[in-house]
Amino acid sequence: MHKIIVALICLFSFSSTFANEIETTTLTSPPKRVVVLDWALAETLVSIGVKPVGVADAKGYRQWVEIPKLPQSVVDVGSRTEPNLELIAQLKPDLIIASNHLSLVYQQLSKIAPTKIYTIYDNNKSPYLNAKRITLALGKLFHRSKQANSVVSETEQVLKDDKRVIQEKGKNNKPVLFVRFINDNTVRIHGKGALINSVASAMGLTNVWTKPTNLWGFTTVGVPVLAQYQDANIVILGPLSSQQKTFLQHSALWNAMKFVKQDSVYTLPAIWTFGGLIDVQRFSQNITKAFTHL
């Protein structure tokens, strides 16, 4: 009887109407079956103990995001840009969660189930702050505020601890440049609006890239542009393919760079560049490990 009363209290205390980035959405009960169409949002849900029934491109998530791990029961519901609406409907979700990058299919999704929009990467270019806010909002929505607060607190503590280590080791004296190799001739350089830029700032590091960036916080340039930043620590966002490693080993231009000669190039493992708070923690920890050889 006590358990029944508690369940009824939880049900009737549930706030059934909540604000949406597009419109107001109403739920009649706490969501149990949720489909997520954005990897950063899927990561956030799993980090607070919510198991989605479906995730867009779950196979890609397991390769690129990896942590936190998706349960094996999660159904892959198609690509993140063109989710399989029929398959989503078959899962009978009571809530669909997506970012505003799928706003064009919002009405179609809403016909399947109430659809909630959360966007970490937007024109405000504050992904870390957005990720914290959205983590807390999802915690409230799924009655997991304790877990959400814990993830936020852990992230803040990781950044604080790693900043202290970086400063103690004197590794904050040189600016940094965050680079991802696309091919032998092209790189993405991450600056304002990138998650790793927020991480660097919180760690007391200075990102030397101040040129305009796109919505996701990066600029695509040719490899020779790196020659303008030879006094920086170069952080390569990995993993590098075997072909890319071979190219760098034999590239006269690359090996002539001052940062290569001074052993100021650091390669990070695979971490999802456009993720949430778990990726903030992993970026911070791996930058610290690379810089201090801990």
State pLDDT tens for residues 95-127: 999 999 999 999 999 999 999 999 999 999 999
Q: How many CA atoms lie within 13 A of 91 on its CB side?
A: 27
Task: Tell me the pLDDT band of 293, cut-offs 50, 70 and 90.
Answer: confident
Distant-in-sequence contacts of 14-17, Cβ < 8 A, 24+ apart: 14/143
pLDDT band per the 50, 70, 90 thresholds, residue 294:
low
Residues in the chain: 294
Return the beta strands (E) in 151-264 as ranges: 176-181, 186-190, 218-222, 233-237
Q: b/e for 64-97, b at 16 or more Cβ within 10 A?
A: ebbbbebeeebbbbbebeebeeeebbebebbbbb
Residue where the block lists tokens 């803040």: 156
Output the pTM of the full model.
Answer: 0.90
Quote the tokens at residue 40.
Answer: 């950063």
pLDDT digits (tens, 9 = 90+) for 195-249: 999 999 999 999 999 999 999 999 999 999 999 999 999 999 999 999 999 999 9
Q: Which two tokens stand for residue 80?
A: 């993140």
Give how far Cα 71 sits from Cα of 75, 143, 194, 202, 273, Å: 9, 20, 28, 31, 22
